[in-house]
Amino acid sequence: MLSTDISVSSDLKNQLIKYQRVRKRTEETCSPLQIEDFVSQPIVDVSPPKWHLAHTTWFFETFILRKFPEYRVFNKDYSFLFNSYYNTVGERVLRHDRGKMTRPAVSDIMKYRAYVDQNIASFINAEKLTETHLELLELGIQHEMQHQELLYYDIKYILGVNPIAPVYNENCSADRVKEDQVGSFKAVEEGVYEIGYTGKNFSFDNEKGRHRTFIEAFEISDKLVTNGEYLNFIEDGGYENHMYWHSDAWDWLQKENISAPLYWKKVNNGWKRFTLSGLRELDPDEVLLHVSYYEASAFANWKGMRLPTEFEWEVSENLFDWGHCWEWTNSAYLPYPYYQAPPGAVGEYNGKFMVNQMVLRASSKATYPGHSRQTYRNFFHPHLRWQFAGFRLSRYI
């Protein structure tokens, strides 16, 4: 399932502190919101902030606390309301209906969080958690870190489609990043390389199965594509030339009437971009964000290059600075050799999504500090772009 160096007899206090710190950060992320913002779901991919607050709490209650006979469930309806995709656990509200849940109120959800937090602390302090429970606790903590980043995505979309483009936080720069270097291509020799996680700290099951793969000699850019570079693609008719696009991508462009990255707005003769700190003039030197795999691949074709595979990215990550945004790769999200999904509901965490999605590597400025690593495999459908995603280029030598 996962790898962790936590044991029942050690580090319990530190683990409780970590749990409480992560839980607090989720609530702090939501603190700039107005109460009306908590229920909005403008598209199916965006979950209401209230749902994130409840679902991350449901995870700890369902997979840890409910295993103890003495625990009393906070509300029997919450298992149905806030289950995400765990068929093993039971029925659930469908994803596109999460915005219909005006009740329970946000205040009820905050009481739910406090109730579960109190019980988790009590069970930890009483040393009732077995090694299995502690592994699930760590998984739940990492799961909440993921939802904290999703909260940034979803909050930005909720505010971004608002006609008056309200500001989330004037001082937030998670979606405004610049790189310092001029930029060059770094060469990597052909050879057989080992891929996948190795170590004793936490990792997700989709990183497991360290294995060898042959990689042809290639070069990879040590900088990400910027707004200015992508603007050149737009002005050269990149969105009008079908030769740069996959067939599915071209159909997507026509159906959705896409002509620029998400949150870009043409104002008179210039461009503006909606950010978490408000609508701003497009900065050509900032790292490009909010493009789909389709758009990243089309730009690479326009440049006569390509996106790196996830394996090329992993073996070359020490040649560039990463962590500004998630980076699209040219790899489908598939299991590593000998991958087996863990039994039970936890087995639904990663394995069931290994179809029709593309891998992203690195992390973003919205990622919880230390949550990502060079073997981390993020994944999204190729048309999605509300996440903080950009890309770098590569080419064969």
CA 277 to chain centre: 20
Task: Please write the tens of the pLDDT for every residue from 183-230.
Answer: 999 999 999 999 999 999 999 999 999 999 999 999 999 999 999 999
Residue 234 · residue 242 · CB < 8 Å: no
211 and 360 together in one domain:
yes
211 belongs to a structural domain: yes
Tell me how far apart the alpha carbons of residues 149 and 155 are, in angstroms, rounded to a whole number: 10
Q: Has residue 170 been placed in a domain?
A: no
Residue 8, pLDDT score: 44
> In this model, does residue 156 exceed pLDDT 60?
yes
Verify that 215 and 308 share a domain, yes or no.
yes
Residue 246 CA to residue 261 CA, distance in Å, equals 17
Confidence bin at 10 (pLDDT 50/70/90): low
- 337 and 201 housed in the same domain: yes
Based on the fold, state whether residues 256 and 383 are members of the same structural domain. yes
Q: Looking at residue 349, what is its pLDDT?
A: 86
Domain identity same for 294 and 247: yes
Return the DSSP state at 67.
Answer: G
pLDDT of res. 348: 82
For residues 106 and 199, membership in a common domain is answered with no
Which stretches within 238-360 are classed as H helix? 247-256, 293-302, 310-316
Say if residues 368 and 149 touch (Cβ distance below 8 Å): yes
Residues 194 and 322 in one domain: yes
Residue 344: the pLDDT is 83
In this structure, the answer to whether residues 134 and 228 fall within a common structural domain is: no
Pair type for strands 326-332 and 278-281: unpaired
Flag whether 102 is in a domain: yes
Domains contained in the chain, number: 2
Q: CATH number of the domain that 18 lies in? A: 1.20.120
In a domain, 271, yes or no: yes
- pTM for the model stands at 0.95
As a whole-number percent, the residues of the chain with pLDDT over 70 amount to 97
Residue 322 has pLDDT above 80, yes or no: yes
Q: How far apart are CA 383 and CA 373, in angstroms?
A: 25
Average pLDDT value over all residues in the chain:
95
353 pLDDT more than 70: yes
**Given a cut of 50, is residue 285 above it in pLDDT?**
yes
Residue (of 327, 110, 148) closest to 222 by Cα position: 327
Name the pLDDT band for 2 (thresholds 50, 70, 90): very low
In the predicted model, is pLDDT for residue 1 greater than 80?
A: no
Cα angle value 354/358/363 (rounded, 5°): 110
Render pLDDT for 44-75 as a digit per residue (tens, 0 to 9). Answer: 999 999 999 999 999 999 999 999 999 999 99
- What is the b/e burial string over 19-34, where b = at least 16 CB atoms within 10 angstroms of the residue's CB? beebbeebeebbebbe
Residues 369, 264 share a domain: yes
Q: What is the pLDDT of residue 5?
A: 44
The answer to the question of residue 364 being in a domain is yes
Q: Would residue 171 count as lying in a domain?
A: no
What's the Cα-to-Cα distance from 143 to each of 2, 108, 137, 308, 347, rounded to whole Å? Answer: 12, 22, 10, 27, 14
What are residue 378's DSSP bridge partners?
360
Report yes or no: 328 and 389 within 8 Å, Cβ to Cβ. yes
- Residue 279: which CATH number? 3.90.1580.10
Residues 127 and 211 in one domain: no
Domain that holds residue 48: 12-160
Examine the domain organization and report whether 219 and 141 are in the same domain.
no
